[in-house]
Amino acid sequence: MIHIEGVEFTYPGHAFRLRVPRMRVGAGERVAIVGPSGSGKTTLLHLIAGILVPGSGDVSVGGSSLPSMRETARRAFRLRAMGLVFQEFELIEHLNVLENILLPCRISPAVRLTPGHRERARSLARDMGIERELNRYVRRLSQGERQRVAMCRALVLEPPLLLCDEPTGNLDPVTKEHVLDGLFAQVARGHTTLVAVTHDHGLLSRFDATIDFTALQTGGAP
Ligand code: ADP
Ligand code: MG
């Protein structure tokens, strides 16, 4: 599903440098990425999502090479093939929860919003324990609720690949287990490939594999 080969990346004008000689994630695999803060884990997710493009090397997702696409094609590909749950949730504050969950259906050029999408949005919200909030404005929600809205939104189009950056960082322990159960149930049902950055070592047993980010950069990880 994900093939990274010889990737080097720098932010223009900054000293930080990311180097990933090789990384492979198979279709349907659930992989956690762990590593020190500031080491480049979020940058790596942005490269896999095609939000950032490497200075050299290749990132391919489902057989499509992202660096060789134009920006508009990369964006369309991302909307079709990936769900993203990033640290800034990028929710639309003046829309309610249901409309936020349905956003990918509205902005993806390849999709037309159907009653089926609304039903799926409601069912995801039930799984994540926010079904009573569907009509509330997002700006009134707690961080934990916002996180769950972002997760429902990422899953609404049943993407083959789901990328999560610290998906449980804002959740209390009980809500965390609830949300993780919902997330992994969805991932299992959709045979979704999951790549999640996490600091929470208690979560790792839920994944098929853990990538140590430091080892990855020196070529020591699979
Ligand atoms: P992590 O997610 O592992 O904490 P990041 O990928 O967020 O690490 O950041 C890696 C490094 O890149 C850090 O030194 C950070 O300050 C720097 N960095 C992140 N985003 C930018 C940016 N947009 N411009 C310049 N430097 C950045
Ligand atoms: Mg980060």
Distance 38 CA to ligand 1 centre (A): 6
Q: Is 64 in the pocket of ligand 1 (CB under 6 A)?
A: no
Strand order, beta sheet including 193-197: 82-85, 161-165, 193-197, 30-34, 209-212
**Which tens digits make up the pLDDT trace of 115-160?**
999 999 999 999 999 999 999 999 989 888 999 999 999 999 999 9
Q: What is the pLDDT of residue 171?
A: 86
Q: Which atom of ligand 1 is nearest to the CA of 13?
A: 25
**Which tens digits make up the pLDDT trace of 164-217?**
999 888 888 988 988 899 899 999 999 999 999 999 999 999 999 999 999 888
Q: What does the alpha-carbon distance between residue 145 and residue 138 come to, in Å, rounded to a whole number? A: 9
Single pTM value for the model: 0.94
The CATH code that applies to domain 2-217 is 3.40.50.300
**Which tens digits make up the pLDDT trace of 49-104?**
999 999 999 999 999 999 999 999 999 999 989 999 998 778 999 999 999 999 99
